Amino acid sequence: MNRDASLKNHLIMKNITPGGVSSPVRAFDPSPIYVDSGKGCRIKDIDGNEYVDLCMSYGPLILGHSHPSVIYAMERQMKKGSVFGAPSIPELELISEISKRVPCAEMVRLVNSGTEAVMHTIRLARGFTGKKGIIKMNGGFHGSSDPVLSDNSQTTLKKGITACTASDTYVAEYNSPEQIESMIEKNDIAAVLMEPVLGNVGVIPPEKDYLQKVRNITKKEGVLLIFDEVITGFRLAPGGAQEMYNVTPDLCTMGKIMGGGLPAGAFAGRKDIMSLLRPEGPVVQTGTFSGNPMTAAAGLAALKEMTNERYRQLNNATEELTHSMTDSLHDHDMTASVNRVGSMFQVFFKVDKVTNAPCAQKCNEKMYMDLFRRMLDSGIYMPPAALEANFTCTEHGRPEIQKIAEEFGKNLRCIA
C-alpha cells in the first residue's frame, strides 16, 4: 500500500509540531496516515487508500463518520450561529437528554473536553468534602490535568508537575476494593475517581460486584465516588457503565460521544454537590465555549439516534467479532486474552487473563504493533498502540465485521 503523501506531509509536520502530531498516541513509524475523509465505519487517507476504522477517533464516533443526522443538526445550527456566550435551546436540550439517560445526573454542567470535566469534578469534590486526596486506579487515564497525570509514588512524578500536586493523588489497583478501603482509612480522601471499565490500558472489565463494593466502601466512609465515563458514557448503554452495572456514583464525567464528533465534555451528579458550582455556590468553573450550541446540537442528534435496540445490535456485532478473533487465536495455538465490554475491545498477546494494569502491561506490545501494521496494509485501521481500545460503531455491518475477522485470522499466521 502506497502511503507516500502521508509520509511527505509527516516530514513537514515534524518540523512544525512536536513529533508531527497534535496528540502523542497518534504517532507511529514511519508516519501516521493523513486522513482525508470518513464515511460510516470507513476512512480514506490522502494517498487514496481506504480502511475499515476500528480506532474511531478513540471513542466519540459511535454512529461512524459523517452521520447524516449529525450533519443536518450541525448545518442547521451553524447557519444560526456557533457560540453566543449565553444560554441556548440546544444546550438545554442536551442537558435534559443527559439527565434523562444518566442515573447519577440530577444536575449537569457542560464543558469542552474530558480533561476539563475531570479537572472541575476534582475541584468540586474537594470543595464539597473539604478533603484533599484523590484515589485513582493504576492504569486509569483521566486526561491531561496535573493531579491525574501524576501520583504520590515518586516513580511516576512527571516532568513539569510539582511534587506538591502529586502528593494528593493516591493509586489503587483496579479490581481490588480492599486497597481502596485501606487507603481511605489511612488518608484524607475526598474522592475515588475511576473509569468503571478501564479503557486506557486496553479494555479491562470490572470483576463481579467490584463496582458495588467500591460504592459501599465510599458511602460508608463519606468519600465521593466519581465515575469517569468519558469513554463508557453513552457507549455501553444509554446511561453508560453506571446503567450497565447498576451502580450509581455521586458524580460522573463525560465527553466523546456526547459531542457527536465535536469537542465536548460534561460532568454531572447529585444536586447537593453540583449546587456548589458558581453562580449558585463558591466552586469555580468557567468556559467561553462551554455549552456552545454547535456541540450541543451535534451531541443531541447523536444521542437521539442511539436507541436501546441500536446498543443491542452494536454490542452483539462486537461480541460476534471478538468471538471469531478468539477462535482464530485458538486455531493458531496462540496465548492471548481478548477483552470486550459492549463495543470496546482489545487483544493482549502472550497473557491469558487481564484483570488489572500490571497484567495488561505484561502483554507482548511488539506482537500487537506487528499485527497493527499488517492490518493497516490489509485495509483495517486499529489504534496504533497495544494499550488502547478498539471501538466499533453502528455502521460496522456484517461485511465489515467479517472482513476484520478474516484479516485478523490471516495476519495472525504471520506474527505467530
Of 142, 131, 150, 212, nearest to 177 by C-alpha is: 212
**CA atoms 64, 287, 266, 296: torsion sign:** negative
Residues 210-229 that bind ligand PLP (CB under 6 A): 228
Task: Answer yes or no whether residue 375 interacts with ligand PLP by CB under 6 A.
Answer: no
Return all residues near 28 (Cβ < 8 A) that are at least 6 apart. 369, 372, 384, 385
Quote the cell numbers at residue 19.
Answer: 513529533
Nearest-angstrom CA–CA distance, 9 and 323: 38
Residue with cell 486455531: 331
Which x/- pattern over 227-256 shows residues binding ligand PLP (rule: CB under 6 A)? Answer: -x-xx-----------------------x-
Least Å distance, CB 407 to ligand PLP, is 26
Smaller CB separation from ligand PLP, 204 or 367 = 204
User: Cβ 80 to ligand PLP, closest distance in Å?
Assistant: 25
The 262-291 site mask, x for binding ligand PLP (CB under 6 A), equals ---x--------------------------
Query: How far is the CA of 200 from the CAs of 217, 343, 366, in angstroms?
Result: 25, 15, 18
Grid coordinates representing 160 are 513539569
Residue 205 interacts with ligand PLP (CB under 6 A)?
no
CB of 87 to ligand PLP, least distance (A): 23
Shortest approach of ligand PLP to residue 265 CB, angstroms?
A: 6
How many residues sit in the footprint of ligand PLP (CB under 6 A)? 16
| Residue 200 vs 355, nearer CB to ligand PLP | 200
- Least Å distance between CB 167 and ligand PLP? 22
Position 200 contacts ligand PLP (CB under 6 A): yes
Exposure string for 189-205, b = 16+ CB within 10 A, e = fewer? bbbbbbbbbbbbbbbbb
Binding residues among 141-160 for ligand PLP as defined by CB under 6 A: 141-143
Residue 265 near residue 117, CB atoms below 8 Å:
yes
Of 228 and 395, CB closest to ligand PLP: 228
Shorter beta-carbon distance to ligand PLP: residue 90 or 255: 255
- In single-letter form, the type of residue at position 231 comes to I
CB of 41 to ligand PLP, least distance (A): 20
60/177 with CB nearer ligand PLP: 60
Among positions 94, 107, 118, 201, the unique one binding ligand PLP when judged by CB under 6 A: 118
Instruction: Pick between residue 202 and residue 265 the one whose CB is nearest to ligand PLP.
Output: 265
Smallest distance, ligand PLP to C-beta of residue 287, A: 13
Among 88, 115, 322, 355, the residue binding ligand PLP under the rule CB under 6 A is: 115
Stretch that binds ligand PLP, among 109-117, 161-169, 344-352, 359-367 (CB under 6 A): 109-117
> Among 3-11, 111-119, 268-276, 308-316, which window interacts with ligand PLP (CB under 6 A)?
111-119
Question: Does 58 help bind ligand PLP (rule: CB under 6 A)?
Answer: yes
Nearer to ligand PLP, 143 or 177 (CB): 143
d(CA 62, CA 278): 33
Among 181, 195, 243, 400, binds ligand PLP (CB under 6 A): 195
Member of 113, 315, 343, 394 binding ligand PLP (CB under 6 A) = 113
**Residue placing its CB nearer to ligand PLP in the complex, 206 or 400:** 206
Pick 193 or 306: Cβ nearer ligand PLP: 193
Give the total residue count for the chain: 416
| Residue number, 65 or 374, with CB nearest to ligand PLP | 65
| Residue ranges in contact with ligand PLP by CB under 6 A | 58, 113-115, 118, 141-143, 195, 199-200, 228, 230-231, 255, 265
